[in-house]
Amino acid sequence: MLDEKEKLNQEEAASREVSQEEALALPAFEPGQIVEAVVTAVQEESILVDIGYKSDAIVPRGELNLALGQKPEEFFKVGMRLPVEILSMDGENGPVVSYRRAVERAAWQRLQEAYENKEIIEAPVVEHVKGGLVLDVGLRGFMPASHVEMGYVSDLSTYVGQPLRARIIELDPSKNRVILSHKVVLEEERQRLKEKTWSELKEGQIRRGVVKGITDFGAFIDLGGVDGLLHVSEMAWGRVVHPSDVLSVGDEIDVYILQLDREKGRISLSRKKVLQDPWETAEEKYPVGSIHYGKVVRLAPFGAFVQLEPGLEGLVHVSQLADWHVHDPADVVREGQEVRVKVLRVSKEDRRISLSIKEAERPVSFGPKIVGSISRPDDLTLGTRFGSLLEEMKERLAQGKRDEDEEKDGE
């Protein structure tokens, strides 16, 4: 029978053999190695993870990839799987590993691939700092203010919390530098849209566009990455004093393509071409003998032009301004004045309407209510007025053809 001392030696030898077998069965870990771990406990300032070793590894708060004020329990749960990097295998309380470094290494690898392949990545804006924005790309990425949009941005704080698509324009792991650009993405997309739009544009085509800018001479219309000029003369059938009177930036309108110059990148547009020409229905809306109200828009030596509706003007010849001989139309009417007129003649083909104020002033049994009479000089007697009428009739008979020519020239 073995004595007690010999038994102890045998048990010790057996124990050493078991420990050696266990040690051989354990994986070999090296500092810097990335392994998959399972969270076994979440503590106030750290978490414990199982990496397949004889004891759990600790992940200190500084290696949890947490922002200031964030707590481990907000992001880590028991049973969660996550990558970690081995920092040390002989820590005081067991192996020490880092989740932060594992995430950053994986992020650098992904960013390197995206940078080399010129891929577009999407990341949330986490902070607004002096000179730009900070984005979370697995680590801190910086987007200069000049690369946020294609134009100047006055308030960058509105982007915080929003995702942005970006292209990596500079990557330097040794300096921990990641520079991003949203502007480059927008420019590339606009260029592709521009090429597509140019391939579709044709003269005579009607396109939907957005008013991009307004000037004194017209408006620039965005047709889809391509801008066209809508001249003030093509905005409406009526006279337009200033483009801002009929359009505002951001308006969506239909336009007609008048001319394309692909070499110079110029496009001439028309809006009135897609609007109904008022002359098309002029004969139906303003038959001979009908009485209407209009506004005096222009004076000429031979009469006054009266606008019946935008784009539709008629001429009140000087002989039709009043029941007496008128030397100067300004003695009877003024620009901007509302007057009552009678239609004498309509020609859709010639785009001319002859009107009369004096005929409209004579009592009629139909039509709108008379709002007032044309003022007359106080010193005119009945004989003078009839004498003037006779003189006017003689004058009209003598110069009938000349009046028609003057009317045509005036219009």
- For residue 13, being part of any structural domain is answered with no
pLDDT at 383 over 60: no
pLDDT on residue 348: 86
**pLDDT value of residue 376:** 40
Q: What is the dihedral of CA 182, 188, 190, 191, to 10 degrees?
A: 160
Helix (H) / strand (E) containing 7: helix 4-25
Q: List, in order, residues 6 or more apart from 274 with CB less than 8 Å away.
A: 206, 254, 255, 256
Mean pLDDT over residues 274-293, rounded?
89
Whether residues 297 and 376 fall in one domain = yes
pLDDT at 176 over 60: yes
Q: In the chain, pLDDT over 90 holds for what percent of residues?
A: 55
40-48, long-range: CB < 8 A, 24+ apart: 40/78, 41/78, 42/72, 42/73, 42/76, 42/77, 42/78, 43/72, 44/71, 44/72, 45/72, 46/72, 47/72, 47/76
Residues 128 and 156 occupy one common structural domain: yes
**Radius of gyration of the CA atoms of the chain, in A:** 44
Mean pLDDT over all residues of the chain? 83
Domain span at 68: 32-117
What's the rounded mean pLDDT across residues 198-221? 93
For the CA atoms of 317, 322, 323, 327, the dihedral, rounded to the nearest 10 degrees, stands at -70
DSSP tag of 319? G
The enclosing domain of 81 has a CATH number of: 2.40.50.140
Question: How much is the average pLDDT of 43-66?
Answer: 90
Residue 8 banded pLDDT, cuts 50, 70, 90: low
Question: Could you tell me if 286 and 358 lie in one domain?
Answer: yes
Based on the fold, state whether residues 322 and 284 are members of the same structural domain: yes
**Domain edge (last residue) among 95, 117, 139:** 117
Q: Are residues 310 and 403 in the same domain?
A: yes
Which of 96-110, 152-166, 357-371 bottoms out in mean pLDDT, i.e. has the lowest?
357-371
Does a structural domain hold residue 354? yes
Same-domain check for residues 257 and 267: yes
CB 341 within 8 A of CB 292: yes
Does residue 373 register a pLDDT over 70? no
What pLDDT, on the 0 to 100 scale, is given for residue 78?
94
**Helix residue spans in 211-293 (DSSP H):** 282-285
Task: Tell whether the model's pLDDT for residue 353 goes beyond 70.
Answer: yes
pLDDT of 306 above 90: yes
Are 307 and 401 contained in the same domain? yes
Instruction: Note whether residue 22 is domain-resident.
Output: no
Q: What percent of the chain is helix, strand and coil (3-state, nearest 5)?
A: 30, 35, 35
Q: Is the pLDDT of residue 409 over 60?
A: no
pLDDT of residue 91: 67
What's residue 349's pLDDT? 86
Q: What is the pLDDT of residue 405?
A: 52
Higher per-residue pLDDT: 54 or 183: 183
**Which pLDDT score, from 0 to 100, does residue 350 have?**
87
- Closest to 155 in 3D by CA, of 187, 125, 189, 199: 125
Residue located via tokens 């324009």: 169
Flag whether pLDDT at 23 surpasses 50.
Answer: no
The region of weakest confidence among 20-24, 265-269, 319-323, 358-362 is: 20-24
Residues 106 and 147 in one domain: no
Using pLDDT thresholds of 50, 70 and 90, give the confidence band for residue 165. Answer: very high
- Which of 274, 293, 315 is the last residue in one of the domains? 274
Element containing residue 339 per DSSP (H, E): strand 338-347
Q: Scanning the structure block, which residue is given the tokens 């001429």?
A: 315
Instruction: Name residue, tokens 């008379």.
Output: 370
pLDDT at 66: 83
Is 10 inside any structural domain?
A: no
Last residue of a domain, one of 117, 137, 152: 117
pTM: 0.55
Q: What residue spans of 67-200 are helical by DSSP H?
A: 99-117, 183-200
pLDDT of residue 389: 46
Indicate whether 6 belongs to any domain. no
Q: Is residue 2 part of a domain?
A: no
Q: Say if 3 falls within a structural domain.
A: no
Tokens 């009469």 locate to: 303
372 and 288 assigned to the same domain: yes
How confident is the model at residue 386, as a pLDDT?
Answer: 45
Task: State residue 381's pLDDT score.
Answer: 39
Q: From residue 52, how far is each of 29, 35, 77, 101 by CA, in Å?
A: 10, 9, 18, 19
The pLDDT of residue 5 is above 70: no
The per-residue pLDDT for range 108-147, each reduced to its tens digit, is 999 999 999 999 999 999 999 999 999 999 889 999 999 9
* Number of domains composing the chain: 4
In a domain, 288, yes or no: yes
Question: Is the pLDDT assigned to residue 310 strictly greater than 80?
Answer: yes
